[in-house]
Amino acid sequence: MRAVSSSLFYNSPKPKFNHLSNPVRNPVIRCIYTRNPCFNSCFSVKPTSITPFSCSAVTSHHPGSDNLATAEAATGTGTATEARLHLLIQEFESLLEPVDRVKRLLQYGNLLPPFEQSLKFTENRVPGCTAQVWLHVSLGNDNKVRFLADSDSEITKGFCACLVWLLDGAEPGEVLALKTEDLEAINVMGLNGKRVSSMKSRANTWHNVLVSLQKRTKALVAEREGRPRGEPFPSLIVDADGIQAKGSYAEAQGRTTMQRRVRNCFPDSQAVLGQDCNEGQRFLSLKIIGTVGLSKDEIKKLSVACSLSQTGIEQKVITKGHMDKDHTVAAVYRAVACIYTSIVMVFMAYANGIVSAQGKPPLFSFGVISDVQYADIPDGRSFLGVPRYYRHSLLMLQRAVQKWNEQKPKFVINFGDIIDGFCPKDQSLSAIKKVIDEFNVFDGPVYHMIGNHCLYNLPREKLLQMLNIPSIDGLAYYDFSPIPEYRIVVLDGYDISAIGWPKDHEKTLKALNFLRERNPNSDKNSPNGLVGLERRFLMFNGAVGKEQLEWLDHVLQDATNSNQKVVVCCHLPLDPGAATKEALLWNYDEVMYVIHQYNCVKACLAGHDHKGGHSVDSHGIHHRVLEAALECPPGTDAFGCVNLFDDRLQLSGADRMESQEMVFSC
Measured from the CB atom, is 277 or 538 closer to ligand LZXBYLUK? 538
Measured from the CB atom, is 487 or 610 closer to ligand LZXBYLUK? 610
The answer to whether residue 107 forms part of the interface with ligand LZXBYLUK (CB under 6 A) is: no
The answer to whether residue 187 forms part of the interface with ligand LZXBYLUK (CB under 6 A) is: no
Phi, psi for residue 168 in degrees, rounded to 5: -65, 125
Sheet holding 242-246, edge to edge: 242-246, 235-239, 346-348
The answer to whether residue 471 forms part of the interface with ligand LZXBYLUK (CB under 6 A) is: no
Side-chain half-sphere of 402: how many Cα atoms within 13 Å?
11
Alpha helices in 94-199 (DSSP H): 98-110, 154-167, 172-177, 180-184
Alpha helices in 441-572 (DSSP H): 452-457, 460-466, 506-518, 546-561
At 603, the amino acid letter reads A
Stretch that binds ligand LZXBYLUK, among 204-212, 267-275, 468-476, 607-615 (CB under 6 A): 607-615
d(CA 51, CA 487) in angstroms, rounded, equals: 69
Q: Contact with ligand LZXBYLUK (CB under 6 A): which of 100, 251, 582, 655?
A: 582
Measured from the CB atom, is 158 or 527 closer to ligand LZXBYLUK? 527
Measured from the CB atom, is 521 or 557 closer to ligand LZXBYLUK? 521
CB of 15 to ligand LZXBYLUK, least distance (A): 24
Residue among 329, 226, 333, 248 nearest 284 (CA)? 329
How many residues touch ligand LZXBYLUK (CB under 6 A)? 17
The answer to whether residue 583 forms part of the interface with ligand LZXBYLUK (CB under 6 A) is: yes
The answer to whether residue 580 forms part of the interface with ligand LZXBYLUK (CB under 6 A) is: yes
Measured from the CB atom, is 124 or 519 closer to ligand LZXBYLUK? 519
The answer to whether residue 494 forms part of the interface with ligand LZXBYLUK (CB under 6 A) is: no
The answer to whether residue 540 forms part of the interface with ligand LZXBYLUK (CB under 6 A) is: yes
* CB-CB contact of 362 with 652 (8 Å): no
Q: 281: alpha, beta or left, given left = phi > 0 and alpha = psi -120 to 50?
A: beta
Binding mask 399-418 for ligand LZXBYLUK (x = CB under 6 A): ------------------x-
Residue among 622, 609, 493 nearest 566 (CA)? 622
Torsion, Cα 608 612 614 617, to 10 degrees, reads: -20
Residues 6 or more apart whose Cβ sits within 8 Å of residue 123: 633
Cα of 175 vs its chain's centroid, Å = 28
The answer to whether residue 631 forms part of the interface with ligand LZXBYLUK (CB under 6 A) is: no
Stretch that binds ligand LZXBYLUK, among 278-286, 426-434, 580-588, 650-658 (CB under 6 A): 580-588
- CB atoms < 10 A from the CB of 367, how many? 25
The answer to whether residue 382 forms part of the interface with ligand LZXBYLUK (CB under 6 A) is: yes
d(CA 416, CA 119) in angstroms, rounded, equals: 27
CB of 248 to ligand LZXBYLUK, least distance (A): 35
CB of 473 to ligand LZXBYLUK, least distance (A): 24
Measured from the CB atom, is 147 or 540 closer to ligand LZXBYLUK? 540
The answer to whether residue 581 forms part of the interface with ligand LZXBYLUK (CB under 6 A) is: no
d(CA 134, CA 163) in angstroms, rounded, equals: 13
The answer to whether residue 122 forms part of the interface with ligand LZXBYLUK (CB under 6 A) is: no
Binding mask 500-529 for ligand LZXBYLUK (x = CB under 6 A): -----------------------x-xxx--
Residues 6 or more apart whose Cβ sits within 8 Å of residue 615: 19, 575, 576, 577, 578, 622, 623
At 85, the amino acid letter reads L
List Cα–Cα distances, 7 to 309, 337, 540, in angstroms: 59, 63, 20
Measured from the CB atom, is 249 or 540 closer to ligand LZXBYLUK? 540
The answer to whether residue 453 forms part of the interface with ligand LZXBYLUK (CB under 6 A) is: yes
* Adjacent-strand bridge partners of 605: 569, 624
Please tell me the total number of residues recorded for the chain in this structure: 666
CB of 491 to ligand LZXBYLUK, least distance (A): 16
Residues 6 or more apart whose Cβ sits within 8 Å of residue 232: 342, 343, 344
Measured from the CB atom, is 343 or 583 closer to ligand LZXBYLUK? 583
Stretch that binds ligand LZXBYLUK, among 44-52, 237-245, 315-323, 603-611 (CB under 6 A): 603-611
Stretch that binds ligand LZXBYLUK, among 98-106, 267-275, 396-404, 608-616 (CB under 6 A): 608-616
CB of 54 to ligand LZXBYLUK, least distance (A): 43
Stretch that binds ligand LZXBYLUK, among 83-91, 276-284, 308-316, 577-585 (CB under 6 A): 577-585
Phi, psi for residue 13 in degrees, rounded to 5: -65, 155
* CB-CB contact of 245 with 258 (8 Å): no
> Which residues would be at the binding site for ligand LZXBYLUK (CB under 6 A)?
382-383, 417, 421, 452-453, 523, 525-527, 540, 580, 582-583, 608-610
